Structure 1
Amino acid sequence: MRIFISTGEVSGDLQGSLLIAALKRQAATLGLELEIVALGGEKMAAAGAVILGNTSGIGSMGIFESLPYVLPTLIVQRRAIAYLKQNPPDLVVLIDYMGPNLGVGTYMQKHLPNVPVAYYIAPQEWVWSMSLRNTSRIVGFTDKLLAIFPEEARYFSHNGANVTWVGHPLLDRMRDVPTREEARTKLGITPDQKAIALLPASRKQELKYLLPVIFEAAQIIQTKLPTAHFWIPLSLEVYRQPIESAIKRYGLRATVVSGQQKEVFAAADFAITKSGTVNLELALLNVPQVVVYRLHPVTVWIARKILKGSIPFASPPNLVVMKPIVPELLQEQAIPENIVQASMELLLNSERRQQILADYHQMRQCLGELGVCDRAAQEILQMRKE
């Protein structure tokens, strides 16, 4: 059975790899042999997919920021469509990555209508949709939509999609995380040390817009907390050089690690982080965090004129329960002084820390039960045409 999977960016590659492992487990119980070809990254390749185009570094947030990626995106999209034309699969799975996946889905609807299409982790139209145009396109070409958030399931079901809520796949990923003691021992963190995770970038634009303000805040924090040491897990190895140069420039007591994100999160007392999937990972491990995000001023101006403040929150933990669990410092608010103030409160105020941990517990109840990836894989394999 040939499955084609299309996703992009660092988070899509992670989710794709978890799904591939589950698809293989479920296929084995059915006596099926799978051939998986994908747009994705190194994690999906390691899980057993043949990668048609590496999309883990092709992605951006915002209108202005996406311009450098228009051509690379079109190239991988055309490569995918050319492959699908020559090698029609038995099944197509789309994961997030709205721009390219709208193109792939539309192609399937027009030219290969008999091949089932599953959308797993739909684009966040349920949060920031300006019109129903893209929602209608997604519903039109999707045979089954596998939602990870309850609100996502409600939104797409209301708009005519065949929806199954499977829960959030990070629940599965967090199963084999080391204990705090194991992680701190492995990383060589002493009991008296404050381990602070810094997560400035999984996209190139974030090195420009987020890294300077986060590192400047870290510089101030380490003067206030002599026991502080910063841990920076790389999302992509290509970011090592600019991050290490910035550490020297700001004089930070910091360690950059690769392939040890789980250990850093399990060991951390606190995190300063960009907005994204990583916020949920930290929340599931009970790490208090401050979320920071900035976009190009032109993007923000356009968004404010069109969306008129209709996006309630930026980070997934807050979106899940639609309340401000973690502090979000966005755009003009994302300055070092504000980051330091919010950070010191979470580091030193035990009542504030307890509140955030209680809110995390409430949020966890909205993410479903363990076995998410296997449930998704079962739903996908049930779609195959006999």
Structure 2
Amino acid sequence: MRIFISTGEVSGDLQGALIITALKRQAVAAGLELEIVALGGEKMAAAGATILGDTSHIGSMGILEALPYLVPTLLVQRKAIAFLKQHPPDLVLLIDYMSPNLGIGTYMQQNLPDVPVVYYIAPQEWVWSISLRNTHRIVGFTKKLLAIFPEEARYYRSSGADVTWVGHPLIDRMQSAPSRQEARAKLGIADEAIAVTLLPASRQQELKYLLPIIFQAAQTIQAKLPEVHFWIPLSLEDFRQPIAAAIERYGLRATVLSGQQKEVFAAADFAITKSGTVNLELALLNVPQVVVYRLNPITAWIARKILKGSIPFASPVNLLVMREIVPELLQEAATAENITQAAMESLLNNQKKQQTFQDYQEMRQCLGEVGVCDRAAREILQMRKSTEISTIV
């Protein structure tokens, strides 16, 4: 069975690797031989995919922020479509990565309608959709949509998609995370030490808009709590040099690590983090956090005044229960002073910390049961049988 997978950015590469591992496991059980070609990154390659184009570095959030990536995105999209035209697969699996995947899905619908398209982790139209145009496009070319959020499933089902809610794949991933004691022993962190994780960037733009305010806050926290040490797991190795330079500039006692994200998270007392998938990983490990995000001021103005866009929450932790479990500091509210206040309150207020743990427990109920990736993989492989039957008929 030949599967083409398309995704992008750091988080897409991670999710792609998880589903590829599960697909291979389920294929063995079903007696299938898999060939997987993909747009993705190093993690997907390590999981067994042949990478047609590396998209882990191609990602942005916002209108102006997307401009530098327009040409690379178009080129990789054209490369994917040329490959699909020359080597039609048995199935196309799309993972998030909205703009390129809309183009690929539309191409499949118009030119290879007999090849089923499965969307796994669909774009969050249910959160920030301004019009239903893209929702209708997604529903139009998608034969099966595998949702990871309950609200995502309800939204796309009500729009006419064939939806199965499989749960969130991080439930599976975090099963192998070490305990706090194990993580601290591995990293050499004493039990009484205060460890704060900093997660300033997984996109280039975030080095500009988020890193300075996060590091300014860290500088103030360090002055207030001399025993604190900061731990920074790299999302991309390319970010090591600018982050190391910023550590020196702000005079932080910090350690930068690559490939030990689970250990850093599990060992942490608190995290100052950009919004994204990492928020859920931290929550599943019971790490209190403050979520920070800033866009170019012009992008924010256009979104508010012209597009009339608004979102209930930025962090998936809060989106799951549609209320604020973790503090979010967005745009003008994302200041070093506000970050410091949120961090100090959590680090020093035990009652606040316990409330966060209780709220995390509620959030977990919305993520489904362990076995998410295997459930998704079985649904994907099942599409081959349903396609064969419809072809025979």
Tell me the TM-score normalized by structure 2: 0.98
Q: Which runs of 5+ in 2 are unaligned?
A: 389-393
Question: 2:106 aligns to what?
Answer: 106
2:244 corresponds in structure 1 to 244
Q: Is the 8 A contact 1:192 1:227 kept in 2?
A: no
Partner of 1:201: 201
Residue by residue over 1:96-137, the C-alpha shift from the partner in whole angstroms, topping out at 9 and shown as x without a partner, is 000000000000000000000000000000000000000000
RMSD of aligned C-alpha atoms? 0.7
Alpha-carbon separation, structure 1, partners of 2:122 and 2:312: 19
Q: CA deviation at 1:306?
A: 4.1
1:69 aligns with 2:105: no
CA distance in 2, matches of 1:66, 1:309: 17
Q: Identical aligned pairs, as a percentage?
A: 78
The aligned counterpart of 2:331 is 331
In the alignment, the residues of structure 1 paired with residue 295 and residue 310 of structure 2 have an alpha-carbon distance, to the nearest angstrom, of 17
Write the deviation string for residues 286-323 of structure 1: whole angstroms up to 9, x where unpaired.
00000000000111001112454631100000000000
Counterpart of 1:280 in structure 2 is 280
2:92 match: secondary structure: strand
Separation in structure 2 between the aligned mates of residue 30 and residue 187 of structure 1, nearest angstrom: 41
Secondary structure of the equivalent of 2:291? strand
Tell me, in whole angstroms, the C-alpha distance in 2 between the residues paired with 1:310 and 1:262. 32
TM-score (norm 1): 0.99
Question: What SS does the aligned partner of 1:382 have?
Answer: helix
In the alignment, which residue of structure 1 is the partner of 2:56?
A: 56
Report what 2:39 is aligned to: 39
Amino acid at match of 2:15: Q
Amino acid paired to 2:335? I
Determine the C-alpha separation between the residues in 1 that align with 2:187 and 2:306.
Answer: 46
Name the structure 2 match of 1:291: 291
Q: Which residue in 1 is equivalent to 2:347?
A: 347
Task: Return the letter of the residue paired with 2:108.
Answer: M
Q: Please tell me whether the aligned partners of residues 2 and 35 of structure 1 are also in contact (alpha carbons under 8 angstroms).
A: yes
Task: Provide the residue aligned with 1:182 in structure 2.
Answer: 182
Aligned 8 A contact 2:265 2:287 in 1: yes
Q: Superposition pairs for residues 102-181 of structure 1, below 5 Å?
A: 102-181=102-181
SS of 2:22's equivalent?
helix
CA distance in 1, matches of 2:295, 2:46: 33
Post-superposition offset of 1:227: 1.1
2:128 and 2:309 in contact (8 A); partners too: no
User: Which amino acid letter does the alignment assign opposite residue 272 of structure 2?
Assistant: I
Equivalence for 2:213? 213
Given that 2:130 and 2:309 are in contact with CA atoms closer than 8 Å, whether structure 1 keeps it comes out as no
- Match in the other structure for 1:228: 228
Q: Distance in 2 between matches of 1:243 and 1:368?
A: 36
Offset from partner CA, 1:341-368 (integer Å, 9 cap, x none): 1110000001111111100000000110
**What is the identity, as a one-letter code, of the residue corresponding to 2:245?**
S
Q: Give deviations 1:5-56, integer Å, cap 9, x for gaps.
A: 0000000000000000000010001100000000000000000000000000
Offset from partner CA, 1:198-219 (integer Å, 9 cap, x none): 0000000000000000000000
Distance 1:122 1:298 in 2: 27
Tell me the alpha carbon deviations over residues 255-276 of structure 1, each in whole angstroms, 9 at most, x when there is no partner.
0000000000010000000000
How many residues matched?
386
Q: Distance in 2 between matches of 1:308 and 1:115?
A: 37
CA distance in 1, matches of 2:54, 2:278: 21
Within 1, Cα distance between the matches of 2:234 and 2:55? 17
Counterparts of 1:321 and 1:260, CA distance in 2: 29
Residue of structure 2 in register with 1:260 after alignment: 260
AA paired with 1:267? A
- Tell me how far apart the structure 1 counterparts of residues 364 and 179 of structure 2 sit (CA, whole Å): 18
Q: Give the match's secondary structure for 1:113.
A: coil
Question: What is the CA–CA distance in structure 2 between the aligned matches of 1:91 and 1:231, rounded to whole Å?
Answer: 41
1:79 corresponds to which residue?
A: 79
- Aligned amino acid, residue 250 of structure 1: Y
Whole-angstrom distance in 1 between the partners of 2:192 and 2:171: 30
Secondary structure, counterpart of 1:359 in structure 2: helix
Deviation at 1:226, TM superposition (A): 1.2
Kept in 2, the 8 Å contact 1:184–1:267? The answer is: yes
Q: Name the structure 1 match of 2:90.
A: 90
